[in-house]
């Protein structure tokens, strides 16, 4: 199941200067920050996703995706 979230505001974050990977626990419509960081990695492309821009993830697989198209691709690849 894929979910789109509302934006999470993070202060002092430069989109082009990622410093550390965050570890998140994805839930339905929200996520918990297990280990604070600036970004997570897209499970399909391997590209960094700024926490402020994170909108798509799979709760069952606990994976983040950088766009709806990429999330759909991941879903189609597993069928």
DSSP string, 1-36: -EEE------SS--TT----B-EEEEETTEEEEEE-
Percent of the chain with pLDDT over 70: 77
The total of structural domains in the chain comes to: 1
- pLDDT band for position 12 (cuts 50, 70, 90): very low
The enclosing H or E element of 77 equals helix 68-78
Residue 48 lies in a domain: yes
Is 74 contained in some domain? yes
Q: Give how far the C-alpha of residue 73 lies from the chain's centroid of Cα atoms, to the nearest Å.
A: 15
Q: Is residue 32 part of a domain?
A: yes
| pTM for the structure as a whole | 0.75
In a domain, 12, yes or no: no
**R_g over Cα of the chain:** 12
Which structural domain range is residue 41 located in?
Answer: 2-7+21-78
22-42: pLDDT as tens digits:
999 999 999 999 999 999 999
Residue 25 inside a domain? The answer is: yes
Q: Is residue 49 part of a domain?
A: yes
Is residue 61 a part of any domain in this protein? yes
């Amino acid at each position: 199941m894929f979910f789109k979230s509302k934006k999470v505001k993070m202060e002092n974050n430069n989109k082009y200067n990622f410093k550390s990977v965050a570890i998140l626990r994805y839930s339905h419509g929200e996520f918990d920050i297990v280990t604070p960081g600036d970004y997570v990695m897209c499970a399909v492309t391997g590209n960094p996703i700024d926490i402020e821009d994170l909108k798509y993830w799979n709760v069952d697989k606990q994976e983040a995706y950088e766009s709806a198209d990429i999330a759909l691709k991941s879903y189609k690849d597993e069928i």
